[in-house]
Protein backbone atom coordinates (compact mmCIF):
# COMPACT_ATOMS: atom_id res chain seq x y z
CA UNK A 1 0.00 0.00 0.00
CA UNK A 2 2.78 2.43 0.86
CA UNK A 3 4.44 1.80 -2.50
CA UNK A 4 1.14 2.53 -4.23
CA UNK A 5 0.67 5.73 -2.22
CA UNK A 6 4.24 6.75 -3.06
CA UNK A 7 3.66 6.18 -6.78
CA UNK A 8 0.43 8.16 -6.62
CA UNK A 9 2.13 10.98 -4.72
CA UNK A 10 4.87 11.41 -7.30
CA UNK A 11 2.38 11.09 -10.14
CA UNK A 12 3.80 7.93 -11.71
CA UNK A 13 0.62 6.77 -13.45
CA UNK A 14 2.18 3.69 -15.07
CA UNK A 15 3.58 2.40 -11.77
CA UNK A 16 0.31 3.23 -10.00
CA UNK A 17 -1.66 1.07 -12.45
CA UNK A 18 0.81 -1.81 -12.13
CA UNK A 19 0.73 -1.66 -8.32
CA UNK A 20 -3.10 -1.49 -8.26
CA UNK A 21 -3.27 -4.61 -10.45
CA UNK A 22 -0.70 -6.38 -8.28
CA UNK A 23 -2.56 -5.46 -5.09
CA UNK A 24 -5.86 -6.76 -6.48
CA UNK A 25 -4.28 -10.02 -7.67
CA UNK A 26 -2.54 -10.56 -4.33
CA UNK A 27 -5.83 -10.08 -2.50
CA UNK A 28 -7.66 -12.50 -4.78
CA UNK A 29 -4.88 -15.08 -4.47
CA UNK A 30 -4.89 -14.83 -0.68
CA UNK A 31 -8.67 -15.16 -0.49
CA UNK A 32 -8.47 -18.42 -2.43
CA UNK A 33 -5.17 -19.86 -1.20
CA UNK A 34 -5.42 -19.42 2.55
CA UNK A 35 -8.58 -21.49 3.13
CA UNK A 36 -7.20 -24.20 0.84
CA UNK A 37 -3.86 -24.24 2.63
CA UNK A 38 -5.52 -24.31 6.04
CA UNK A 39 -7.58 -27.33 5.03
CA UNK A 40 -4.97 -29.30 3.10
CA UNK A 41 -1.76 -28.50 4.99
CA UNK A 42 -2.61 -27.19 8.47
CA UNK A 43 0.92 -27.63 9.81
CA UNK A 44 2.33 -25.34 7.12
CA UNK A 45 -0.54 -22.89 7.57
CA UNK A 46 0.19 -22.72 11.31
CA UNK A 47 3.73 -21.47 10.65
CA UNK A 48 2.38 -18.15 9.37
CA UNK A 49 -1.05 -18.18 11.02
CA UNK A 50 -0.26 -15.35 13.45
CA UNK A 51 1.02 -13.16 10.65
CA UNK A 52 -1.73 -13.78 8.11
CA UNK A 53 -4.60 -13.62 10.59
CA UNK A 54 -4.14 -9.91 11.29
CA UNK A 55 -3.29 -6.87 9.24
CA UNK A 56 0.32 -5.78 9.31
CA UNK A 57 2.42 -3.17 7.63
CA UNK A 58 5.99 -3.63 6.55
CA UNK A 59 7.68 -0.22 6.33
CA UNK A 60 8.23 0.55 2.67
CA UNK A 61 11.69 1.66 1.71
CA UNK A 62 12.56 1.53 -1.97
CA UNK A 63 15.83 -0.36 -2.36
CA UNK A 64 17.73 -2.70 -4.59
CA UNK A 65 18.62 -6.05 -2.99
CA UNK A 66 22.05 -5.86 -4.57
CA UNK A 67 22.87 -2.70 -2.64
CA UNK A 68 21.74 -3.90 0.81
CA UNK A 69 24.78 -4.75 2.95
CA UNK A 70 24.69 -8.35 4.14
CA UNK A 71 21.84 -9.37 1.86
CA UNK A 72 21.87 -13.08 1.12
CA UNK A 73 21.60 -13.97 -2.52
CA UNK A 74 20.94 -17.40 -3.92
CA UNK A 75 21.62 -18.58 -7.43
CA UNK A 76 19.74 -21.84 -7.38
CA UNK A 77 17.87 -23.57 -10.15
CA UNK A 78 15.52 -25.23 -7.67
CA UNK A 79 13.39 -23.41 -5.12
CA UNK A 80 14.14 -24.21 -1.49
CA UNK A 81 10.86 -23.78 0.36
CA UNK A 82 12.47 -23.56 3.81
CA UNK A 83 14.79 -20.74 2.69
CA UNK A 84 11.85 -18.97 1.05
CA UNK A 85 9.78 -19.26 4.21
CA UNK A 86 12.71 -18.05 6.30
CA UNK A 87 13.10 -15.05 4.02
CA UNK A 88 9.40 -14.23 4.25
CA UNK A 89 9.45 -14.61 8.04
CA UNK A 90 12.40 -12.23 8.26
CA UNK A 91 10.69 -9.77 5.94
CA UNK A 92 7.61 -9.52 8.15
CA UNK A 93 9.59 -9.48 11.39
CA UNK A 94 9.19 -13.07 12.55
CA UNK A 95 11.84 -15.50 13.67
CA UNK A 96 11.71 -19.06 12.41
CA UNK A 97 12.91 -21.70 14.85
CA UNK A 98 12.75 -25.40 14.04
CA UNK A 99 10.77 -24.69 10.88
CA UNK A 100 8.21 -22.47 12.63
Cα 76 to chain centroid distance, Å, stands at: 20
Compute the distance between CA of residue 6 and CA of residue 10 in angstroms, rounded to an integer.
Answer: 6
What pLDDT sits at residue 68? 57
Is 70 exceeded by the pLDDT of residue 47? Answer: yes
**Residue-level pLDDT at 66:** 59
41 with 49: CB under 8 angstroms? no
Sign of the alpha-carbon torsion through 6, 9, 12, 16: positive
Report the interhelical angle of 13-40 vs 42-52 (nearest 10°).
140
SS3 41: coil
Q: What is the pLDDT of residues 18-45, one digit of tens each?
A: 889 988 998 898 888 889 988 999 988 8
Model confidence at 95, in pLDDT bands (50, 70, 90)?
Answer: low
- pLDDT band at 71; cut points 50, 70, 90: low
Q: Distance (Å, rounded) from C-alpha 17 to C-alpha 25?
A: 12
Amino acid sequence: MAALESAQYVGDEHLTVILEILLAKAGTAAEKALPYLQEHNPEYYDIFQDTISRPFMVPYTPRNAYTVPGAVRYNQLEYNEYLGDSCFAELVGLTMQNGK
